[in-house]
Amino acid sequence: MERHFEHDLEELKQRLLWMGSLAERAVHQAVQAVLDGEERLAEAVLSEEDAINEMQIEIDERVQRLLALQAPMAADLRFLLAVSRINGDLERIGDQAVNIAQSALRILRHPQVKPYVDLPRMSELAEAMVRDSLNAVVRGDQELAQSVLRRDDQVDRLRDQLFRELLTYMMEDSAVVFAAFELVLVAKNLERIGDHATNIAEDVIYFVAGRDVRHPALDRR
C-alpha cells in the first residue's frame, strides 16, 4: 500500500519540475530576445516572473508542511532539504532571466555591437546545465549531476572570453559602450545561471547519496 506521504513527495517533485520548466523557458526566451532582437519575448519573460515567484512560495509551504507533519528521516529528509534549496535556485534562475530580458529591452534600442558567436554557445551550455540538473532531479541520476558540475568551468571560460572581447569593442568605439556593457551583464547572468544549475546538481548528489559535495576543500571529518 502506497503511503500518503509518498504521494505528497511525488506531488512536490512534480511541482518543483513544473517550476523548473518555467525557469528554463524564461531563460531561453530572455536569451532569444537578445539574440533575435525579439522584444515580445523579453516582455513575456517579465510577465511570467510572478508565476515563478508564486511557485517558490507554494513549494516552500509544501516542504514546511511535510517537515512539520511527517517528521521525515534519512532519504526523505534529505530530499525535502534538497527541494527547499533547489526551489531557491530556480527562483534565482528566474530572476537572472528577468535581468537578461531587461538587458534585452535596453540592447534593442541600440545597433548590434557585433555578430553573436560566443553568447549563443554560452546560453546553450547554461540552458543545457539547467535542463540536465532538472533531469537529474527527476531520475535521481548522480552521473548526470556530476556531468553538470564538470560543465561549469566551460561557462566560466566563455564568460571571461566574452568580457575580454566586449572590452576591446568598448575601447575601440565609445558609441558601443552602452550596448556592450549590457552584453557583459547578460554574460554575467548566464554564468550565474550555470552556478545555480551546479547547486541543483550538488543537491541531487546530496539527496541521492547523502554526500555533501559543496566546497570540497573544506575538512568535514
> Under the rule (CB under 8 A), what is the footprint of other proteins?
3, 5, 71-78, 210, 221
User: What's the closest the beta carbon of residue 221 comes to other proteins, in angstroms?
Assistant: 6
Longest Cα–Cα distance of the chain, Å, equals 70
User: What's the closest the beta carbon of residue 5 comes to other proteins, in angstroms?
Assistant: 7
User: What's the closest the beta carbon of residue 73 comes to other proteins, in angstroms?
Assistant: 4
Nearer to other proteins, 3 or 164 (CB): 3
Nearer to other proteins, 16 or 207 (CB): 207
User: What's the closest the beta carbon of residue 78 comes to other proteins, in angstroms?
Assistant: 7
Which among 58, 79, 78, 61 is positioned nearest to 9, based on CA atoms?
Answer: 79
Q: What's the Cα-to-Cα distance from 107 to each of 120, 147, 149, rounded to whole Å?
A: 16, 33, 31
Nearer to other proteins, 40 or 217 (CB): 217
Are 210 and 78 spatial neighbours (Cβ–Cβ below 8 Å)?
yes
Q: What's the Cα-to-Cα distance from 6 to each of 13, 70, 107, 136, 147, rounded to whole Å?
A: 11, 11, 48, 19, 29
Nearer to other proteins, 71 or 111 (CB): 71
